[in-house]
Amino acid sequence: MSDSSKKTGDDTPSDETRARLERMHRQFADSVPHNNALGIELLELRDGEADMRMPWAPHLVGNPDTGVLHGGVITALLDACCGAAVFQSLREPKPIATLDLRIDYMKPARPRAEVHAHAKVTKVTRNVAFVRAAAHHGDPEDPVATATASFMLGTSSGPPPEHK
């Protein structure tokens, strides 16, 4: 077993594995072009949890009369935050894919205000991770929107198979 895959006695990842995962999480957050286009920033990662923010920008507004962010960009923020939380929960890095993402919009975002997101993995099985998240303006207990998501673990990164 290489040093990078060793686990500590309590079955938690080693410091080296955690460092490698941290690099992977940063790359995930920084290298997804869509996240960059939306200005999504990774704020913090903890075991199975992630915090992100998305600054307000005129090109992200859904209704110019109100200045409120479009619901689709809030959905993208929640999906990215959920994915980062799933990556953080994995013992070893592996590809993931969103299987299901349900968004409940509680109220419009505040005009001209950045939005934060917090996601927490609630369960990980062999093939699927389950996550809950909230988008908010600084208070997770007063959400703009909430999300429930599931992610497939260990997806192929290659092209889809040929169909007849």
Query: Tokens 């990774």 map to which residue?
Result: 42
Q: Which of 50-59, 86-95, 155-164 has the lowest mean pLDDT?
A: 155-164
The residue with tokens 């699927």 is 128
CATH code of 11-153, in short, is 3.10.129.10
pLDDT at position 59 over 80: yes
Q: Quick one: pLDDT band at residue 6, thresholds 50, 70, 90?
A: very low
**From CA 38, how far away is CA 48, in angstroms rounded?**
23
Answer whether residue 81 shows pLDDT above 90. yes
Domain range annotation of the chain:
11-153
In Å, the largest CA–CA distance within the chain is 60
pLDDT averaged over the chain? 86
The total of other beta-carbon atoms located within 10 Å of residue 106's CB is 12
Q: What is the pTM of this model?
A: 0.80
DSSP letters of the chain? Answer: --GGG-B-TTSPBPHHHHHHHHHHHHHHHHH-HHHHHHT-EEEEEETTEEEEEE---GGGEEETTTTEEPHHHHHHHHHHHHHHHHHHH-SS---EEEEEEEEEE-SPPPTT--EEEEEEEEEE-SSEEEEEEEEESS-TTS-SEEEEEEEEES---SPPPP--
pLDDT tens per residue across span 95-153? 899 999 999 999 999 999 999 999 999 999 999 999 999 999 999 999 999 999 999 99
pLDDT at 91: 85
Distance CA 70, CA 94 (A): 31
Mean pLDDT value across residues 2-18: 54
Token pair 């006695």 in the structure block, residue: 9
Q: Is 13 left (phi over 0), alpha (psi -120 to 50) or beta?
A: beta
